Amino acid sequence: MNEQTPVSQPGYTSLHADIDGFDSLAELALDLHWSWNHSTDEVWRQLDPALWEFTQNPWVVLQTVSKDKLKSVLADSTFRKNIDGLLQAKRQAAKAPAWFQKIHPQSPLKCVAYFSMEYMLSEALPIYWLEWDCSINKAIFVR
């Protein structure tokens, strides 16, 4: 396990990466924007309606869809135009200034990361806090 795959180049070897259009679907599936913007829901519903309704997880749908089904939907020009439009909108939104840059255009701060339980943090990311122990009059680091 010494080799590491860069996040920017995920390995799709066990998936259908050889199918033209798969990369576009993968880009949409791996974008967390779908969790609150449901513009791509119909894409995943077309690939596997039952699994989509059960999981609401585009990456799971994309990993499990059959090669024949994937080829079939990607051969549909209307479906492909929809994918292209969704990708274009996603990329334009990523380039547009966010609310902070609009409100504070002169700020040297260019990037902010924050974590919210809405994004399903789990035991994979330890959460720590401080508690005050009155018996010793000190703060204790707790995990």
**Consecutive 10-residue runs of the chain (143 residues): their mean pLDDT?**
48 68 91 84 96 91 92 96 95 86 85 62 56 64 57
pLDDT of 133 reads: 62
The per-residue pLDDT for 37 is 84
CB 25 within 8 A of CB 62: yes
DSSP 5: -
pTM over 0.75: no
**Could you give the CA distance from residue 123 to residue 105 in angstroms, rounded to a whole number?**
37
Task: Please write the tens of the pLDDT for every residue from 88-107.
Answer: 999 998 888 888 888 888 98
Count CB-CB contacts under 10 A for residue 47: 23
